[in-house]
Amino acid sequence: MASGLRKGLTSYGDAGFSLFLRTAFIKAMGFTDDALDRPIIGITDTYSDFNPCHGNVPDLIEAAKRGIMLAGGLPMAFPTISVHESFAHPTSMFLRNLMALDTEEMIRAQPMDAVLLIGGCDKTLPAQLMGAASANIPAIVLPTGPMLVGHYKGEVLGACTDCRRLWARHRAGEMDAAEMNEVSSRLAPTKGTCMVMGTASTMACMIEALGMSLPGSGTAPATHADRVRLAEASGATAVRLAREGVTPRQILTKAAFRNAFAVLQAIGGSTNGLIHMTAVAGRMGIDVDLEEFDALGRDVPVLVDLKPSGQHYMEHFHWAGGVPRLLRELAPLLDTSCLTVTGGTLAGSIAAAEDVPGQNVIRTRDNPIHQGGGLAVLRGNLAPDGALLKRSAATASLLRHEGRAVVFDSIPDMAARIDDDDLDVTADDILVLRNAGPKGAPGMPEAGYLPIPRKLARAGVKDMVRISDARRSGTAFGTIVLHASPESAAGGPLALVQTGDRIRLDADARTLDLLVDAAELDRRRAAWTPPLPPEGAERGYLRLYLEQVLQAGQGCDFAFCRPPA
Ligand code: FES
């Protein structure tokens, strides 16, 4: 099989000429024949002035290049799309699949024997892993790593659990605009990803458990020397993977995904972790069974004491031993024979885990933060294909609740009415948001964290049951039911709910039901018409997206990106 510069020659109808031309052009960069004869390791460059979560990428690339060269390879960094949560309109999820396509095709198009994927902000690691899984050349992931914590008036702060908590206080009139401006300088004090167990941290930890990154990669702070050393080691590892021909297909097995899902439960991870890892597994032809996931959740307790489920931050998790130490605690529930990029198995990573005397961030299984896992899959006539609830970040008294539906027909409708003092709503009601799913919004934005109506927030209400077909940030707290599937824009039952209907949630029984009789629902279904397509849907990426995006149960991947059945 061709390697190095000989891989994937540009088509001129004469392979010898293609290689000659390629060699001639690359020599313009000053490379010697010796350098060009080495295994070529591509490095994704996702640095962007719009992406502070990737602010350390240049340093990581430099260290990775050092590791690659020390191991006898030739590093070649190349740009791909970079997506930051707060700088992606309408929502970063809309762009995840575009980044996956870009990553996959650039890996295929350019001659590289292995690829080092450097990413971090929420959608980037899943996108990169989806692309690399489909391209299936040797690959290793290096997350950019979490930020350090912030401080404000003696309080430790973290993006973005505390962004939302403090914004809720501002909405309730407890903090003024000047204070909020001051806080905005403290919440994200360094480069790197959010330092709570949000989606970025969740994905980094799951990918480490999956075996696609080196031990420690999931947790080492972005600005710490450990992160730079990991970059050097990841570069060297990429050279070995290239020489040994170890591809993602050998690592991304059903058992490895199960291990990653066990970690998702044990860290009280983001609900987005399920969607993203489902999309990656789908690229391998592996369907994720929601009942299996839920059953796993009943066995795996939440062990990591991190916000928003607990009290610590990612740097504390790292210094407590990180993912390897957690894996040791979970070992009886895992398949530790799974291969990892280290060349060994998960058992090897566990054996090398650091023991930190007195640490209280990673609990033992007989002293968990929450029994029975963080994420529960709900079923019922309101979500026949499933919905998700993060139990570990919910209010215990609301986990079994019946209430009156207060329905918002879309995100703009919610924005227009939620703070209206005339809104007919009480703390016992259930807020319902629809047309916010993969096709509906479009892009399934993190709108599932419906704000508490201002008049209730002012009265001290901190949480209510909220139901939608949207996602939510992994950093948020609340009794929030997400991903109700099928989504309302695709004719799912959320489209049929009317204000005043009764809804019953029972998290222990895993049920979510609209208490309206079947004949009435049939009548409403017959009268339902789909929402109008968004502006611009007739062309371009939006058209491709709307035609191809799948539901949450298939990871919201594009249908044509999954392998043939
Ligand atoms: Fe990038 Fe939170 S905004 S990880």
Give the C-alpha separation, 1 to 13, whole Å.
19
Asked if 430 contacts 512 with a C-beta cutoff of 8 angstroms, the reply is no
Distance 85 CA to ligand 1 centre (A): 6
Distance 122 CA to ligand 1 centre (A): 6
What the chain holds in terms of domains, given with CATH numbers, is: 38-148+190-351 (3.40.50.2300), 151-184 (no CATH), 375-536 (3.50.30.80)
Choosing from 50, 51, 53, 149 the residue with most ligand 1 atoms within 8 A of its CB, the one to mutate for a pocket test is 53
Question: Coil, strand or helix: which one is 103?
Answer: helix
Residue 53 alpha carbon, nearest atom of ligand 1: 1
Distance 300 CA to ligand 1 centre (A): 27
Distance 120 CA to ligand 1 centre (A): 8
Name residues contacting ligand 1 (CB within 6 A): 53, 84-85, 121-122, 159, 193-194, 198, 200
Distant-in-sequence, close-in-space partners of 64: CB < 8 Å, separation ≥ 6:
43, 75, 116, 118, 142, 231, 232, 234, 235, 238
Distance 118 CA to ligand 1 centre (A): 14
Distance 48 CA to ligand 1 centre (A): 13
Residue of the nearest CA to atom 1 in ligand 1?
A: 121
Here the tokens at position 549 are 């995006």
User: Which letter does DSSP use for residue 558 in this model?
Assistant: B
DSSP string, 306-369: BTTTSSB-HHHHHHTTHHHHHHHHHGGGS-TT-B-TTSSBHHHHHHTPPP-TT--SB--TTS-S
Asked if 140 contacts 248 with a C-beta cutoff of 8 angstroms, the reply is no
pLDDT in tens, 397-435: 999 999 999 999 999 999 999 999 999 999 999 999 999
Q: What distances in angstroms separate CA 127 from CA 83, 179, 184, one per listed residue?
A: 10, 37, 29
Residue of the nearest CA to atom 3 in ligand 1?
A: 85
Backbone angles phi, psi at 51, to 5 degrees: -130, 85
Segments of 221-325 assigned E as strands: none
Distance 518 CA to ligand 1 centre (A): 43
Residue 86 alpha carbon, nearest atom of ligand 1: 3
- In this prediction the pTM is 0.95
Helix, strand, coil percentages for the chain (3-state, nearest 5): 40, 15, 45
Per-residue pLDDT 10s for the chain (565 aa) are 899 999 999 999 999 999 999 999 999 999 999 999 999 999 999 999 999 999 999 999 999 999 999 999 999 999 999 999 999 999 999 999 999 999 999 999 999 999 999 999 999 999 999 999 999 999 999 999 999 999 999 999 988 888 888 998 998 899 999 999 999 999 999 999 999 999 999 999 999 999 999 999 999 999 999 999 999 999 999 999 999 999 999 999 999 999 999 999 999 899 999 999 999 999 999 999 999 999 999 999 999 999 888 899 999 999 999 999 999 999 999 999 999 999 999 999 999 999 999 999 999 999 999 887 678 999 999 999 999 998 888 999 999 999 999 999 999 999 999 999 999 999 999 999 999 999 998 999 989 999 999 999 999 999 999 999 999 877 677 999 999 999 999 999 999 999 999 999 999 999 999 999 999 999 999 999 999 999 999 999 999 999 999 999 999 999 999 998 7
Buried b (16+ CB within 10 A) or exposed e, 413-436: ebeeebeeeeeebeeebbbbbbbb
Choosing from 124, 193, 307 the residue with most ligand 1 atoms within 8 A of its CB, the one to mutate for a pocket test is 193
